[in-house]
Amino acid sequence: MANVVVVGAQWGDEGKGKIVDWLSERADIIARFQGGHNAGHTLVIDGKVFKLSLLPSGIVRGGKLSVIGNGVVLDPWHLVEEIAKLRGQGVEISPDNLMIAENTPLILPIHGELDRAREAQASVAKIGTTGRGIGPAYEDKVGRRSVRVADLADAATLELRVDRALVHHDALRRGLGMEPVDRDGLIKALREIAPEVLQFAAPVWKVLNDQRKAGKRILFEGAQGALLDIDFGTYPFVTSSNVIAGQAATGVGLGPGAIDFVLGIVKAYTTRVGEGPFPAELNDEIGQRLGERGHEFGTVTGRKRRCGWFDAALVRQTCATSGVNGIALTKLDVLDGFDELKICVGYDLDGKRIDYLPTAADHQARCKPIYESLPGWSESTEGARSWADLPANAIKYVRRVEELIECSVALLSTSPEREDTILVTDPFAD
């Protein structure tokens, strides 16, 4: 059976939540493979709004197994809060439908404290993090000083892991003028939260391999967007994990052969939260209009998103690095009513035309967008469920996007409602 990876192909906020929810009806297992609770997914189901930041989107659908893989960094206190909130909305959550990899690293309070302290340093350029400890938790993971889910089950191991982490963190805190960590208080808090987390702990790699052999369909759910990838994003204004599709296998414990189709989620225009380069950004009335029509505020942080025209050069680049087989184009309806639309087709770098965003930060800063203009449309595309419902110019816009990014549209989303989706190619087709 086909297994599908869903990745954001821009800077995040592309509408992955709805698409994953739409696809989850066809899947047996929905697995998160990277990121933390800095990601935000908004689902609208039968008029009811669910806001998720850590749990896989499939958790709101009955009869599905939701998995948090080892590629995620997990804040156990946030996990408990999010579960309680969803249960309050009538969602059933138990070890029968939620599983957390035993080797998942934990986000501790000291990670958030360090994250915020660094961002507050006036002498250091801000990265624009959410301050939730994601980056420091990933640093501890690669530094081999993480507390992982399995460590919560043994008191001696837990103390050993905490002590190893504090050798590093207390030294950092001294340099930042912070008080040493309350070791005993941290261990006590972890022991108290341990039962809430351990009930969901499992050898995810084994379960997923067994389920795959049994013919079950797996939907791999990523967070953020490929332009925030630690290797291929606009470094250093990126997240602290690999976001591209190759991480899906590593982030849950499957081989790369488990991936059959990569679906890139692409917004019909471009947005970005936080700091960093954005060649096609519009600091004018058009940018303001896109933000207002698209309700461009972060699900997790509430921060206003920067807006600009669709950047085909960037999406073509991310489709290549993630091996995207087809895209889901979202928020086409936000472009309704524009007399003229523009697409960024490349950049002018010191008088030379290039068709990709260079790696060097100073080159990125000097890139000026090269636009191609297309006619807009006055008719509404909101709620369209077939090509016949779309204005001719809207179809021309979509076709031109396909040509420029060198990838076809598999799904077209025309509103936050899951039913308002045009299926072109079924990602789950065998």
Write out the catalytic residue numbers: 13, 41
| Distance (Å, whole) CA 221 – CA 73 | 14
Number of continuous H segments (helices) and E segments (strands) in the chain: 12, 18
- How far lies 183's CA from each of 142, 150, 189, 198, in Å? 22, 19, 10, 22
| Distance (Å, whole) CA 407 – CA 414 | 19
Element (H or E) spanning 394, and its range?
Answer: helix 392-405
**Omega prior to 236 cis, within 30 of 0:** yes
| Distance (Å, whole) CA 430 – CA 428 | 6
| Distance (Å, whole) CA 379 – CA 206 | 51
| Distance (Å, whole) CA 231 – CA 222 | 16
Chain centroid to Cα 87, Å, comes to 23
Q: What are phi and psi of 335, to 5 degrees?
A: -85, -5
Q: What are phi and psi of 427, to 5 degrees?
A: -60, -25
Side-chain half-sphere exposure of 286, counting CA atoms within 13 A: 16
| Distance (Å, whole) CA 88 – CA 51 | 13
What letter would DSSP give residue 41?
E
Angle at the Cα of 310 (from 288 to 402), degrees rounded to 5? 150
| Distance (Å, whole) CA 49 – CA 45 | 6
End-to-end CA distance of the chain: 6
Give me the sign of the Cα torsion angle 186, 188, 189, 195: positive
| Distance (Å, whole) CA 250 – CA 256 | 8
Kindly report the length of the chain: 430
Tokens matching residue 167? 């050798």
The residue type found at 306 is R
